[in-house]
Amino acid sequence: MKIGLFIPCYVDQFYPQVAIATLSILEKLNLQVDYPLQQACCGQPMANTGCTDEAKKAAKNYVSSFKHYDYIVCPSGSCVSFVRNHYDFLEQTNAIEHIRKNTYELCEFLVDVLKIKTLEASFPYKVGLHNCCHGHRGLRLAKSSERVEPQFSKIRYLLEKVKDIELVTLQKEDECCGFGGTFAVAEEAVSCKMGLDRIADHEQAGAGFITGVDMSCLMHMDGLIKRQHKSIQVKHIAEILAGEIS
Q: d(Cα 185, Cα 24) in Å, to the nearest integer?
A: 33
Nearer to another protein, 30 or 118 (CB): 30
CA-to-CA separations, 119 to 40, 115, 197, 210, 243, in angstroms, rounded: 30, 11, 32, 20, 8
Residue pair 113/76 in contact (Cβ under 8 Å)? The answer is no
CB of residue 94 vs another protein: minimum separation in angstroms? 22
| Cβ neighbours of residue 111 closer than 8 Å, sequence gap 6 or more | 154, 157, 158
Nearer to another protein, 57 or 101 (CB): 57
Nearer to another protein, 162 or 202 (CB): 202
CB of residue 163 vs another protein: minimum separation in angstroms? 27
Nearer to another protein, 165 or 236 (CB): 236
CB of residue 165 vs another protein: minimum separation in angstroms? 25
Nearer to another protein, 78 or 162 (CB): 78
CB of residue 57 vs another protein: minimum separation in angstroms? 3
Tell me which residue of 177, 89, 95 sits closest to 131, measured CA to CA.
177
CB of residue 120 vs another protein: minimum separation in angstroms? 21
Q: Give the count of beta carbons closer than 10 Å to the beta carbon of residue 23.
A: 19
3-class secondary-structure state, position 236: strand
Longest dimension (CA), the chain: 50
CB of residue 43 vs another protein: minimum separation in angstroms? 7
* 3-state secondary structure labels for all residues of 46-91: HHCCCCHHHHHHHHHHHHHHHCCCCEEEECCHHHHHHHHHHHHHCC
Nearer to another protein, 194 or 207 (CB): 194
